[in-house]
Structure 1
C-alpha cells in the first residue's frame, strides 16, 4: 500500500506526493492534460512538438539540461494521444532545482523563431525516420485512419502529416502553449526522500505565483459504433508481409478495461500464451505474433499483429487468428490460465512500484484518470475479473463487423 498525500494550489495545480526514505533520490513528474487528441485535424503534431520545445529554453533559464546535470539529475519526456509527461530524478537534497526548472518553463517558454525552427526540424526528421523511412513505419497512420473516422485518435502522436509541423507559426505555437501548459491543467507528482511539508513549501514557492489560464473545454467527437468490417491492403518495400487486425474496445475507465488487458496477455504474453504457442511454436504458421491494447483514455483498440512464416500467406495467418479468437469466445478460460495472468499483474504491480520514479509517474497518471489513490486498487480490479467476463467481452468484441484488417504486403522481389 502506497501512502499518498495530495493538495491543490489556489491556481489549480494538483500536487501528489509519496515519501520513500529508503532512497537518497527524488523524482518529480509533471503531467499536462494535453495530447494529440486535443489538436485540430489540420494542425496535428503540436503536442509532440511541445515535448521538444519545452527543452529549448524558458523565460529565465536558457538551457534546461545544464543546471539539472550540475545538480546530479537526469530527465526525459514523452507524449501520447492523451497526455504529455515530463519527469526527472536527482539527489533529494537538490530537489528545489527540479521545482525551479519545471516552474519556469510552465511560466513561459522563450518563444523565438530560432528555437521553433530547431525543434521543428528535429520533429520532422523524427517523422521521416520513424514513419516514412522505417519498415512498417506508416502502419500506425493506416490502422488509425481505418479504425477512427471522426475521433482525433485517427492520427498518431507524431501528427497526421509533416506539413502540419512544417507550417506551424510562432503565434500558433504560443497559442497552444498558453491554452494547455497551465497549472490548472497539470498534475505534479513528487516521490523519494522528500517530505510532504517540503514538497508543499516548494510547490507554493515556485508554482504558486503562476496564474491559472483559460484551458479549452474538451468536447471531442465520439466515434460512432462500427457496423461492418473494414479492410485495407497496401504494398511497401518491407522484409515480409504483415497482418494488422484491430477491434474497437472500451475506454480506460470502463470496468471491462481489465478484461481486455488480460485477454491480450492470454493471447500473446509469453511463450505459453495461446497465439505464440499455437501459431508460432506448434503450427508454425507465424514467424511472430503479438496482441496488445492501446490503453487510451477514450475508447481504444485491441491490436493483433502477425507475420507469416515461410510458405504461409496473410490469408493463412488471418484464418488462424480468427480460429483462436473463436476458441476464446466459445470456451471459458480455465482457472490455471486465469490465475497465471493475474499473478503476473500482481507481481508487476509490486515490483514496478518499488522504484520511486515509477511511483511518481503512476501517481500523476492515476490522479489524471480519477484519483491517485486508485493506484492501490489496481491489483484487486485485475483479481476480480472472471472467466465469464472474459468470455463475454471476447464474444462482444471479436466479431467481423467490429474488425479493421490491414494487409501489409512486401513488394515482390
Structure 2
C-alpha cells in the first residue's frame, strides 16, 4: 500500500535529508525512523535505503561534496555525514543464505524484497521524498492497533536471526498492547534451540534493553511462558523482580538482572560475558558485605559509608527492600535519607603521619595505620586527626 502521509512535516529539520535526496532521489527513509514518525515519538536516527549498489551511492555522494564513511560496504551500508549528523544508507538486499546468526545477502532493486527480509511489519515500511508511505505488510495498521507481528512466517524470520526472538519481546513491550502475538510466541518456542548459537554479547545487549523498557513485568512473564527466559538466564525468579519493581527502585538494568537471578547471580558475568565493572558490581551485591539494616545507628551508617561507596550501599538497600518482604517501604526510605544526609567520613591519617612519628615504610606502617583505622571505625568514624594520633601514641 502506498499513500501520501504528511510524515515529513513532523521532522524538526530535514535540510540534510533533502540534500541527500537531491543526490539519491530514489532513496527512502526506512525502518525505525518511519515507525516512530507514525507513532509520534522522537526520531533519533534517519536511516535510508537505496536501490543503487553501495559503491555507486558513495561515488554520487562524494561527487556532491558530501562526506561519506564506508561503514559496511560488504553489507551494503555507507554513512553520509552532514553538519555532524550521520545518515546511514543501505542498498536494498535480499537474503541468499542464513544460519540463525548471519545472512549472506545480495543487492536488489526490489523494495518489496528488501521489506520482506525485515523482522516486524512495523519496521518494514518506507517513506520517499514525495512523502509517500510504502507499506507492504500492514505495518501501519499493526502500529495503530498496537500489535507487533513478524513479517511473513514468524518461525522463518527467527531461523534467519535467532536474536529476533528477544527483539520481538522488546518491541512488543514498547509498541504492543495486551497479549503478545500468538504466532510469534509459538515460533519463539519452536526455535529455542537456536538461542544457543547467539553470542553472549548480543543476548546481553538485547536483554539489557528489555530490562530498561516499559511493561517489564508483563514482558518477563511472556518470555517465561514460551521458555525463552529459562534458556538465556540461570534459574530466573520473576516474582523477585516484580517485588523490586513494586518498590519503585531506580531503573537500573543490572540491578534488575541481579534480582531476577539472585540465587545464581555469580553465573551471570560468565554466561553473558559482562564487563569487568558489571561483574565487580554483582560480586559486591552477592557478597552481602558489609552488613546493612534499616535500623542501623548513625555510627553504623558512618561505618557503612567509610567501607562502601554510597551508590553501592543505596543499590543494596533496594535489594534488601525487595527481598525482605513485610517491612514497610517507609523504613527503607528513611534509611536511604539518613545514609545520604551523612557527610562522607575519611580516615584522617596517612603514611606521612606514620613517617612523622617514626614508623618506617613497610609492613609495620600498614599495621600502624590499620590499628588506627580500626579504632577510628569503632568510634563511629568520629575522631579527628589529633585524636587518632593520641590513641596510637598511647597504644604503641
TM-score class, shorter-chain normalisation, is under 0.3
Tell me the TM-score normalised to structure 2 length.
0.27
| Larger Rg computed on CA atoms | 2
Higher relative contact order (CA 8 A, sep 6+): 1
- When you count helix as a share of all residues, which structure comes out higher? 2
- When you count strand as a share of all residues, which structure comes out higher? 1
